């Protein structure tokens, strides 16, 4: 999701520090979000090779609303970039849940 100097982004990126759970047909991994926009996120993962470009995944973001009550958001996404421990996903659909919502399967 990083862009070269001649590329134009569709939406502004905002730095974020949040835990993310990413699920594909092979299983679930934990990741950390580096940035977020209205159309996607850049995630740091230990094993980005567990994914492939074009693959649909489910993502669940845990935003610390305030101590003891995390704010959860989930969505369906597609992998658009894999590079240097980073996984770029384009968000397709999702919802915000102030409770403890869980993801649908990808």
Q: For the chain, first and last CA: distance in Å?
A: 21
Q: What are phi and psi of 15, to 5 degrees?
A: -65, 145
Q: What are phi and psi of 50, to 5 degrees?
A: -75, -5
CB 21 within 8 A of CB 41: no
3-state secondary structure of 81: strand
Whole-angstrom distance, CA of residue 77 vs CA of residue 88: 10
Q: What CATH homologous superfamily does 14-97 map to? A: predicted glycosyltransferase like domains (2.40.10.220)
Q: What are phi and psi of 49, to 5 degrees?
A: -70, -5
Model confidence pLDDT, tens digit, residues 40-79: 999 998 877 778 999 999 998 887 665 555 556 778 999 9
Assess whether pLDDT exceeds 50 at residue 16.
yes
pTM, rounded to two decimals: 0.72
CA distances from 36 to 41, 58, 74, 104, 105 (A): 4, 15, 13, 21, 22
pLDDT of residue 66: 56
Domain regions of the chain by residue span = 14-97
pLDDT of residue 3: 43
């Amino acid at each position: 999701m990083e862009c070269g100097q001649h590329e134009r982004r569709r939406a502004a990126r905002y730095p974020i520090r949040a835990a993310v759970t990413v699920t594909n047909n092979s299983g679930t991994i934990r990741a950390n979000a580096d940035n977020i926009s209205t159309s996607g996120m850049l995630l740091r993962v230990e094993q980005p090779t567990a994914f492939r470009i074009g693959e649909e995944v489910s993502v669940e973001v845990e935003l610390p609303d305030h101590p003891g009550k995390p704010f959860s958001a989930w969505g369906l996404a597609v992998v658009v970039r894999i590079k240097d421990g980073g996984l770029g996903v384009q968000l397709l659909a999702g919802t915000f849940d102030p409770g403890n919502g869980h993801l649908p399967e990808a």
